[in-house]
Amino acid sequence: MNSKLFCNPAALRPAISRIVLRSVPLAFLFLCSSLSVRAGDAPQWMHALVNAPLPKVDEKTDAVLLYSEEIWNVQGNGKIKSTVRRAYKILRPGGRDYGRLRVDFDAETRITNMRGWCIPAQGKDYEVKDKDALETALFGVQNGELMTDTRSKLLQIPAADPGNIVGYEYERDQRPYVLQDVWGFQSEVPVREAHYTLQLPQGWEYKAVWLNHADVAGTAKGSNQWEWTLSDVPSVRPEQQMPPALSVIGMMVVSLVPPGGGANKGFQSWDDMGRWEAYLAQDRRNPSPEIKQKVAALTASAPNTMAKMRALAQFVQSDIRYVAIQLGIGGWQPHPAPDIFNHKYGDCKDKATLMSTLLKEIGVDSYYLSVNTERGTVTPATPATRWFDHEILAVRLPADAKDSPAMAAVFDHPKLGKLLIFDPTDELTPFGQLRGELQSNYALLVAPDGGELILTPKLPPAINGVRRDAKLTLTSSGTLSGEVTEVRLGDSGLYQRMALRSATADKDKIKPIENLLARSLATYRITKASVTNAQQTDLPFGYNYSLVAESYAKTAGNLLLVRPRVLGNKSSDLLETKEPRKFSVEFSGPSLDSDTFEIKLPAGYEVDDLPPPIDVDYGFASYHSKTEAKGDTLRYTRTFEVKEVTVPVAKVDDLKKLYRIIAGDERNTAVIKLTSR
């Protein structure tokens, strides 16, 4: 069974590769070790930058993009001739990454020229040419693909050292399936000067939409040619748990419309894009006799429509393997349902196609739902563009379907009624639920009358989280021992099941427990451990284990100092930085964690002092804890609830306060005193 939870259509990559610039892996260094470096004069456009003043930088800036130029020359037949030029001044050793050039291409793209240069602070220029480049399978594909025509061309520019200038130029001929381009002029380093030129044939039109930057009008430069120029573009420095790059980096999305439109014109609206996706899937959901027989067999004993839907979902999730074959338009167009069924494999859009076909056989309608697994990449402000990397389904619930906690991922559509959002690729999340990254996420609903952007539902926090209960005994010497039961729901259970898939030995299956104990206890020993419901995804995943922790309580005369919070860390140093936070903090999804620790005191001891209770609620999250003495038992309870998936910048100070309050509570100790021997 494959652990793939989402796929990454090849059609998405060209739009992103120019925006996320530092994506070439370190293995590239070894691949390029045999290139032939030669002396060769860098072009005049690079030499003009040698004495160019730098924008304001700080001590953490690795490089400066001195000059960037992109030219899109559109031919009347829909072909594009593009030219890209960039030159960087390397300031710190970390800037060496900018001496690595990667260009992705496919069967509809030809790289006609690729060259790179280095102008050292002292000495002669270096040059590498197209023949020095290496062609390889596509880098950065999670879990790989069985077959794809998308490849990478790599070029290592020599001497990308501090003080030197490195630059490159490449040209491409391409025939895109959709006439749309993205000018990503902002990156992790400051940009001194950036240019974009668009040349169109007579009668063609364009629409430019600016994101994360004020609109800039193009300057006419001759017949049907426009140019945009920007200078002193600030860097976007990454932060932990920040929104995805495409939601914060400045860019211009250009959609082209040839005379009379055309099948591959740039999308003018989400409805436009939805109709295009519907066209690609036309006749792909026609059932075969074998499919009809399988549906009848799978649903024969199901008492109602909902039970039939669950049976079909289980089949597609578990029995259809994730295998991607993306050739040409196959990066966007699903294979026919009979082929997917016969081969027993497919990528996300294939699994969605087969599931939709099976559902239709029991009289249930369903609709494609395109989504990006990085929440926030697509928003209502985003123009209709190909920034989706995953295909799931919106399943129309039967009119007699009853509301239940098991059917939580429901979206109320004003025309289509109740739609259950379901991911057929995710075999670890049961039918009716939705993992965190797909919640509260804008997605393109491909409905019968066109496409529209919808906001997927946010599930209740109680569906996801860790419930931990422990019954422990403390000795007068400070040793703590006892049994712990953990129940992990939603994503918390999903990721544990994923981690255990590679565990072949019993000792490997308790690694997650060992990691938890190592972060919570100075010393520990596991005496017994077991896993529950590792395979039954419709039941809560669980750990049961026994532990011994010597010297857990600290002695001070006739006192014992005991930390009531035994296991688990909810605090974070995420916001403990010198620089002020610039972007929102993103959580993977709503969650509710709870801990209950009961510690039986040693004979002759009683509680002398307890930590104060904590009750804080900041709206986006809350934290409550209490330590009580009940007879000869010390009882600690707490809950940590994440209610919102995003904490805006205006509230990050509250989040910092919350984490500090939690950290203090997690360190607090109870005082136990000896009253008799």
Residue range 402-419, pLDDT digits in tens:
778 889 999 999 999 999
* Residue 2 reports pLDDT greater than 50: no
Task: Report CA-CA distances (Å) from 404 to 118, 279, 401.
Answer: 64, 35, 9
Q: Following DSSP, what letter does each residue of 422-464 receive, concatenated?
A: E-TT-TTS-TT---GGGTT-EEEEEETTEEEEEEPPPPPGGGS
The answer to whether 635 touches 647, Cβ cutoff 8 Å, is: no
The CA dihedral of 534, 540, 546, 551, to the nearest 10 degrees, is 120
CA angle 295, 301, 302 (to 5 degrees): 80
Q: Place 28 in a pLDDT band, splitting at 50, 70 and 90.
A: very low
The answer to whether 149 touches 57, Cβ cutoff 8 Å, is: no
Long-range pairs, 398-407, Cβ under 8 A, ≥24: 398/305, 398/306, 398/364, 400/305, 401/305, 401/306, 404/432, 405/460, 405/463, 406/430, 406/432, 406/433, 407/306, 407/432
SS3 53: coil
- pLDDT of res. 11: 40
* Assigned token pair, 287: 């059932």
- pLDDT of res. 266: 77
Q: Identify the CATH number of the domain defined by range 272-457.
A: 3.10.620.30
Alpha-carbon gap, residue 460 to 432, rounded angstroms: 13
* Residue 72 reports pLDDT greater than 90: yes
- Burial environment of residue 23 by CB neighbours within 10 A (0 to 12, 13 to 18, 19 or more): middle
- pLDDT of res. 623: 98
CATH of 462-674, one of 3.30.565.10, 2.60.120.10, 3.30.70.1880, 2.60.120.1130: 2.60.120.1130
More reliable by pLDDT, 595 or 263: 595
* Assigned token pair, 115: 């060259």
Give the relative orientation of helices 348-361 and 289-299 as an angle to the nearest 10 degrees: 70
SS3 341: helix
pLDDT, average across residues 37-47: 84
Instruction: Show me where the domains of the chain are located.
Output: 10-266, 272-457, 462-674
* Residue 24 reports pLDDT greater than 50: no
Indicate the pairing of strand 63-74 with strand 646-647.
unpaired
Q: Place 39 in a pLDDT band, splitting at 50, 70 and 90.
A: low
pLDDT, average across residues 648-656: 97
Nearest one of 18, 32, 21 to 97, comparing CA atoms: 21
Indicate the pairing of strand 321-322 with strand 345-346.
parallel
Name the fold adopted by 10-266.
Immunoglobulin-like (2.60.40)
SS3 647: strand
Alpha-carbon gap, residue 160 to 114, rounded angstroms: 17
- pLDDT of res. 312: 98
Alpha-carbon gap, residue 394 to 415, rounded angstroms: 13
Lowest-confidence range among 164-173, 265-274, 594-603?
Answer: 265-274
* Residue 298 reports pLDDT greater than 60: yes
* Assigned token pair, 22: 């530092």
Alpha-carbon gap, residue 422 to 475, rounded angstroms: 51
- pLDDT of res. 505: 76
- pLDDT of res. 487: 97
Task: Give me the helices (H) in 58-207, please.
Answer: none
Contact partners, residue 162, CB within 8 Å, separation at least 6: 90, 91, 92, 93, 95
CA angle 117, 107, 109 (to 5 degrees): 40
* Assigned token pair, 436: 């965190």
- pLDDT of res. 150: 78
* Residue 26 reports pLDDT greater than 50: no
SS3 528: strand
Helices then strands, counting H and E runs in the chain, come out as: 12, 39
Q: Place 12 in a pLDDT band, splitting at 50, 70 and 90.
A: very low
Per cent of the chain over pLDDT 70 is 91
* Residue 327 reports pLDDT greater than 90: no
**C-beta atoms surrounding 648 within 10 Å:** 12
pLDDT, average across residues 457-485: 97
CA angle 246, 249, 253 (to 5 degrees): 70
- pLDDT of res. 77: 84
Q: What is the amino acid identity at position 674?
A: L
- pLDDT of res. 37: 57
Q: What is the mean pLDDT of the chain?
A: 90
Per cent of the chain over pLDDT 90 is 79
Which residues in 309-447 belong to E strands, given as ranges? 321-322, 325-326, 345-346, 366-371, 390-396, 410-413, 417-422, 442-447
Lowest-confidence range among 141-150, 154-163, 222-231, 623-632?
Answer: 141-150
- pLDDT of res. 148: 64
pLDDT digits (tens, 9 = 90+) for 561-600: 999 999 999 999 999 999 999 999 999 999 999 999 999 9
* Residue 519 reports pLDDT greater than 90: yes
* Assigned token pair, 644: 């919102």
Q: What is the amino acid identity at position 563?
A: R
Q: Say how many residues make up the chain.
A: 677
- pLDDT of res. 328: 62
The answer to whether 108 touches 177, Cβ cutoff 8 Å, is: yes
The two most distant CA atoms of the chain are separated, in Å, by 99
* Residue 489 reports pLDDT greater than 90: yes
CA angle 500, 503, 508 (to 5 degrees): 100
pLDDT digits (tens, 9 = 90+) for 305-326: 999 999 999 999 999 998 877 7
Q: Place 5 in a pLDDT band, splitting at 50, 70 and 90.
A: very low
Alpha-carbon gap, residue 641 to 664, rounded angstroms: 17
Contact partners, residue 549, CB within 8 Å, separation at least 6: 479, 480, 481, 521, 522, 523, 524, 525
